[in-house]
Amino acid sequence: MHILAIYGSPRKDGFSSRLHNEFIIPFERRGFLVSRVFAYDLNIFPCQACNYCKENKSCFLKDDMTDIYRLIEEADIISISSPLYFSSVPSPLKAIIDRTQCLWEKYRSEGKYNNSHRYGFFICTGGSIYQDMFCGVQQMMRHFFNGINLSFDVSDFVFVNNTDSMEKIPEEKILQINYSAAKYIRLITED
């Protein structure tokens, strides 16, 4: 079993990264292969909107995304963590998301939209607190997971606001993360 963990924060010890590590621990303990990818460590060009992928079902750009495509297609679970940047994710993570357009083109043309045995999970933290602050990023992640043919449950997504006023992760969020990890371990091992 393989989990791809994509970290979207520039801070490897920030709130979203620490929550992501909490999510990964149970998988490691059960012997899952865990591939950690840090978006800020990669050299990934933004999508050029050239339509090459529409015709060729692949991307003409050759950069670190080439390895990410393989990891995405091999993974049973893809977990993503990110801080909230203007109702979205930081640009290095957004570049990864946008560049998966070629996978969407490939799956759509091949009629391969039924991989319910692959799952997506999302963690997002925000420094502020205001009504509906995670609505935009939640919608984007729904489209992303659908585009790369993953099953997901939005109610499992973990959102933590007001982190600018926190020193440590709230215990109830760690419990929520542990519950989600247990759920996905069960789903993967039962498939």
- Give per-residue pLDDT as tens, 73-93: 999 999 999 999 999 999 999
Whether residue 54 is predicted with pLDDT greater than 90 in this model: the reply is: no
Mean pLDDT to the nearest integer, 40-64? 91
pLDDT tens-place string over residues 105-127: 877 777 666 666 899 999 999 99
Confidence band of 191 (pLDDT split at 50, 70, 90): low
3-state helix/strand/coil string of the chain: CEEEEEECCCCCCCHHHHHHHHHHHHHHHCCCEEEEEEHHHCCCCCCCCCCHHHHHCCCCCCCCHHHHHHHHHHCCEEEEEEECECCECCHHHHHHHHHCHHHHHHHHHHCCCCCCCCEEEEEEECCCCCCCCCHHHHHHHHHHHHHCCCECCHHHCEEECCHHHCCCCCHHHHHHHHHHHHHHHHHHHHC
pLDDT of 114:
64
Note the CATH number of domain 2-190.
3.40.50.360
What's the pTM?
Answer: 0.93
Mean pLDDT rounded to a whole number for the chain: 92
pLDDT tens-place string over residues 1-36: 999 999 999 999 999 999 999 999 999 999 999 999
Whether residue 157 is predicted with pLDDT greater than 80 in this model: the reply is: yes
Q: Domain map of the chain by residue range?
A: 2-190
Whether residue 186 is predicted with pLDDT greater than 70 in this model: the reply is: yes
Whether residue 135 is predicted with pLDDT greater than 80 in this model: the reply is: yes
